[in-house]
A and B are shown apart, each in its own frame.
Chain A
Amino acid sequence: MIEARQLTKRFGGRTAIQGVTLRVAPGEVVGFLGPNGAGKSTTFRIMAGVFPPDSGTVLVDGIDLEREPLTARRRIGYVPERPALQLDARVDRELAFIASLRDVAPGARQRAVDDAIARARLEEVRTRRIGALSRGTRQRASLAAGLVGDPPVLLLDEPTVGLDPAQSADTRRLIRELGRDRAVLVSSHILSDLESLCDRVIVLHQGRVLAEGDPATLGSRLRRTTYVDVEAAASAERLAALVRDLPGVHGVAPLPGHVHAGRCRVEVTADRDVRAAIAARLAGAGVALYALVPVEPSLEEAFLSLVGESTGEAGE
């Protein structure tokens, strides 16, 4: 089990994270979600023992990471966001080196390396130079480095970045498998990556934990609204006036248009499809419709929506 209590870290005058508290139990896969710059990697680095927090505590199976760093770090498999392996080294030799640093007994090292290679499906490239591997395979080698020695806690920082869809699905399957008997914390800035993978998701924004819960509930909170871009033979202002009062429409914002067409973005409730209603309304007003394009909100937009909600709740 790994537990972070009230972690705060500042670099110069900038607060990277503040009061971050989380807990991952064995047999649990917890997602750590946040846009770029939210403080995910800083939290991971503190929890992996790379550098200490300014305040707060990390406990690994009850061992204080700052007081007993070597004992605690022995139990952590950390996979940084960027594959962190020596490019000139062979896959199996690099893994054996990491096994030796993780205090795997000399007699058990070969088996530890073989296990990690098998789990990460690296058999075909085990004797290849890491620098000669594709980015996706290198990412899997980095994952194998986190697994070697079988640590009970895994910290995986954006493990699917750079992987193709098949490799990404494969990695998610592996993480689920690993999460059966380990405490796994996995970060991403893509909600859909975590939805199918995690028992619980923690949302980090601007260095603070913004929300926590099961992926389905959080997903519906994050995706409360979606958008439809409308392009028609009228000015953006007229389009806005025509669709603003339709059921399910929360707001309308003009977009840069063309000479003969106006464009606007219509914010609508996520579970309603208002495209037919918009088309009917424009046809009724004699406005030729050129395009109706549904737009999924970006994670940043969804976060901003959640931030607004959180601020509203705080103000109540």
Chain B
Amino acid sequence: MTKAIGIARRELGLMFGGPLAWTLIGAFTFLGGYFFYTDLTFYVLFGGGNLPAGLWRYVFLHYRLVALLVVPLVTMRLVAEERKLGTLELLWSLPVRDRDVLAGKLAAAVVVYLVMLAGSAIGPFVLWVMHPYPLAPLAAGYTGMLLLGLAFIACGLAASCVGESQVVSAMLAYGVLVFLWFVSANEAALGEGLGWILLGMSLFDRFYGFAQGVIDLRDVVFFLAFTALFLFLALRALGARAWRGLA
């Protein structure tokens, strides 16, 4: 655990020492702020006084889109760059377990994501100061964003473990996440057997409850299971060096 913390600290130092983390946090905050402003305007004009259905639903559905765009860019370098630089080889020769390496990388990406979420909360906070409102639906939305972000990070981390190209890593993560996002768009096109499995993995429907202020335990379990699955795949991808070497 100590080593995972050390790896996370070093990763955060590298991320915040360069422009990448700041740029992505800035992009998330800007886009989040823009969507919040436009959704608030829409709510004031047409919202009908129901804050969860009239405002938070749209805000969080837009936030999840921003997360989909930004998170793979946070995760793409986590392991791929270490592989490219050869530092992964050095890590593997040190007394560190693969799971510590992954835990450290995961923790660093989660911290960056939390900073992004904090940036996105500026608008709702200002609104609360000016016009206090019930915080529970907002908390449910952010719980959903956290779980969704964990799932995205795990998927991106697994993609980053596959090779040494950051672009390939990002595209792989986008491919998986966008597919699982839209897989339920046309349910009739999917067959009986496979369709049931793919629909079960659809990310699109699972977030909807959180966005409207409802926390369903099944959705929580789904996102945690999704995260665990991709962390397992990431671990397997790191372990593949035993048979494929360092290529």
Interface residues of A (CB under 8 A from B): 11, 16, 42, 45, 48-52, 69-71, 73-74, 76, 78, 80, 82-89, 93, 97-98, 100-103, 145
Contacts and interface: CB of A to CB of B under 8 A. Distances in A.
Interface string B76-91: 0000000001110111
B111 interface: no
Contacts of A74: 95
Contacts of A82: 86
Given A51-B241, A51-B242, A86 B85 contact: yes
Given A11-B243, A50-B246, A89-B10, A98 B85 contact: no
Nearest to B240: A51
- Specify which of B7, B90, B242, B244 lies most central, judged by the most chain A CB atoms within 10 Å of its CB: B90
A78 B88 CA distance: 12
Interface of B: 2-3, 6-7, 10, 13-14, 17-18, 85-87, 89-97, 241-246
A100 B17 contact: no
A138 to B, nearest CB: 11
B93 A100 contact: no
A100 B243 contact: no
A112 to B, nearest CB: 14
B87 A102 contact: no
Contacts of B244: 11
Contact of B95 (A70, A85, A86, A87): A70
Contacts of B86: 80, 82-84
A101 to B, nearest CB: 4
15 contacts: A11-B244, A11-B245, A42-B245, A45-B89, A45-B93, A50-B92, A51-B92, A51-B245, A84-B85, A84-B90, A93-B13, A97-B6, A98-B94, A100-B3, A100-B6
Nearest to B242: A51
B95 A145 contact: no
A93 B11 CA distance: 12
A109 to B, nearest CB: 11
**Max count, chain B CB within 10 A of own CB: residue among A16, A80, A84:** A84
A102 B94 contact: yes
A86 B82 CA distance: 8
B87 to A, nearest CB: 5
Nearest to A41: B246
Contacts, number: 80
Contact of B87 (A45, A69, A78, A85): A85
A145 B18 CA distance: 23
Given A45-B246, A51-B241, A102-B94, A80 B89 contact: yes
Nearest to B86: A84
Nearest to B6: A100
A24 B217 CA distance: 58
A83 B87 CA distance: 8
B24 to A, nearest CB: 16
A83 B84 CA distance: 11
Given A101-B94, A101-B95, 4 more contacts: A84-B87, A87-B85, A93-B13, A145-B90
Nearest to B20: A88
A102 to B, nearest CB: 6
Contacts of B6: 97, 100-101
A217 to B, nearest CB: 32
Leading 7 A-B pairs by shortest Cβ distance: A84-B86, A78-B93, A48-B93, A70-B95, A84-B90, A50-B92, A73-B95
A84 B86 CA distance: 5
A50 B87 contact: no
Given A45-B246, A50-B246, A102-B95, A84 B3 contact: no
A52 B244 CA distance: 11
A3 B14 CA distance: 37
B85 A85 contact: yes
A73 B94 contact: yes
B113 to A, nearest CB: 21
Contacts of B91: 101
Contacts of B87: 84-86
Contacts of B96: 70, 101
B138 to A, nearest CB: 37
B89 to A, nearest CB: 5
Given A80-B86, A88-B17, A52 B242 contact: yes
A48 B3 CA distance: 19
A48 B86 CA distance: 14
A86 B14 contact: yes
Contacts of A98: 90, 94
Contacts of A83: 86
A102 B10 CA distance: 15
A50 B89 contact: yes
A16 to B, nearest CB: 8
A73 B93 contact: yes
A51 B245 CA distance: 7
Contact of A78 (B13, B90, B245, B246): B90
